[in-house]
Amino acid sequence: MIQSRSCPSCLRRVEVSQFKLGDRVRCPYCKSEFQIQPQMRGAPVANGDAEQRHRQTNPRPRLPKTASMERLQVEGYERFEEVGKGAMGKVYKAYQSKLRRKVALKVLALEHADKSGFVDRFRREAATGARITHRNVVRVYDILTGKSYDREGVSTEVHVISMEFVDGPHLRQLNQSEVRGNLPKALDYFRQICSGVAAAHEQGVVHRDLKPENIMLDRETNVLKVADFGLAYFVDRDERDAVWDTKTRMTMGTVAYMPPEQGRDAKRVVE
């Protein structure tokens, strides 16, 4: 008789001997729930149809395509789905249980988690986004910590930003034929981007890394939203933490989209 089974979400073994068939069990590790099916308790499979039904009701978890095969756990959030990644980390679509809403979770890469400079920059992005409230800027809800599990079940603490989930592509992914030749739409997009940037400027925030990848389009509302304030600069120095300062002569931004003077000295540009 099988005494335990693997959780479909985190794949760790969970004791189920005290439950009966059909009961729902909460995984003590990732807090997700699953139902005990006959096959999980050692009941024989009568035919191919029963086995097929089991596969349909208990699909194998889709694992992130990473070498470490990490699983994410953040208290209060579930249904994680990787939707993007970059040099700083990954972005997941998730569901916030208490507020019953979809959110985006930006997770700092494990290789940067123990580097104070990267953590400070990550926290700055969250603080910057949180102070800007505008329909053309991605809202930041909270900064959290979570756990990432490798294939062996070993956990590592990770830094997480919870933010508004924008269901759509960034401008680089947008079909150019939708905009090219359509002057009214192009002007509308340009106006929305300027509105988002202006809202940041009103809060004393200079983005410094404005590019197509950092402009998201909400397909449902056709609203553009400025995202990723990781390199932002606070004009009001009294409201900044000293560790967020940009050292003189340090180049910050994406070379293809920065003005020459920013490449020479990023700090003096915003001063």
**252 Cβ contact list (under 8 Å, min separation 6):** 208, 209, 231, 246, 262, 266
Catalytic residue among 23, 49, 188, 209: 209
**21 Cβ contact list (under 8 Å, min separation 6):** 36, 37, 38, 41, 43
Whether residue 167 lies in the annotated active site? no
Of 71, 52, 47, 53, nearest in space to 61 by CA: 71
Cβ pair 43, 36 in contact under 8 A: no
Which residue reads 């606070």 in tokens?
234
Cβ pair 34, 57 in contact under 8 A: no
Q: Which positions are catalytic? A: 209
